[in-house]
Amino acid sequence: MSLLTPHHATSSSLHPEEAPMPLTNFGVDELASYQPELTAPKGFDEFWQRTLAEARSHGGAVKVERVTSQFALRTVEVDDTRFPGWNGEPVAAWLLRPRGVEGPLPVVVTYIGYCGGRGLPTEHLFWSAAGYAQLVVDSRGQGRDTPDRGMGDGTQWVEGFMTRGIDSPENYYYRRLITDCVRAVDAVAQLPGLDGDRIVLAGGSQGGGLALAVAGLTGDRVAAVMPDVPFLCHFREGAQIAMEGPYQEIVKYLRWHSPLRVRPTFETLDYFDGVHFAQRATAPALFSVGLMDPVCPPRTVYAAFNRYAGEDHTMTVWPFADHGGGCGSNPPAQLAWLRERGLTPEA
């Protein structure tokens, strides 16, 4: 198998001689069958139903401003977009579309990796070049255009975002961020030229974990989901074996606190674990994994993949990849996968 050619398999059935030993010392066959005993909290579904109902109760219109001229782009239209997220607070996004195409177009809703924001629209031109609309969602508190007003809750945390508000599910940072990401899907209905029946969720690392969470919370409103090297899955395993990256913030937090904090910390994280969202997601899914990923170790990715509820779910295996996954080879693989499922601008 060429390293430039992704391997697709619903069971990730690479033979051991075709791939190196993963970072976790699990062989590919073990990864393909890896299903740790993880049970969602009894109040998981009620918690998220209540959380999203509260956010939607604030209402609010989506606001759009055409800003293409600021970026000297000739083939793409760019709209600076604001939609109501957690607590009705405005969340920034870029809406990019191929110029001169009225639609309705399939839309790729893109979530961003850890400590990143929506950046500049010139960083996100692939999907519009392929004929799709793209909604690039800022991450509250991480991106420069969407502040997180919930950060000042008095809870102690270490640097980063992983332990902010970790004293309870109600206060936890990712309750706010995941809510924003669901509300981005709600916003599609108010944006002109988009096809609400062809919403594709995408993102890498944290963005992949967020895409997986939204897929589990929006049901059949989503046509497909593409989580790349997803973060926010199987938290305890990530904290125990990840050699780099944000899972280490949990380790540092628990190292600084009493051992009595271990159980309640992971009880909070259970409400945000991608494994539980995967068990509730049914849209066709294209995952990816880097078998040498020190940030999101393969076991954490496969824990979610192997519990995914939808019948059509595929893993792209990058045998020698670290957290970069397939890098530049990945978007063409995603595009081909969408075309196989009829999710094309021409359809």
Residue in 124, 228, 293, 313 annotated catalytic: 293
Annotated active-site residue 323? The verdict is yes
Which burial class, exposed, middle or buried, applies to 199 when counting CB atoms under 10 A from its CB (0-12, 13-18, 19+)?
Answer: buried
Q: Which of 12, 128, 205, 288 is catalytic?
A: 205
What is the torsion angle, in degrees rounded to the nearest 10, for the CA atoms of residue 212, residue 215, residue 218 and residue 219? -140
Asked if 205 is an active-site residue, the reply is yes
Q: Which of 7, 276, 313, 323 is catalytic?
A: 323
CA–CA separation, 309 and 312 (whole Å): 9
Q: What residues act catalytically?
A: 205, 293, 323
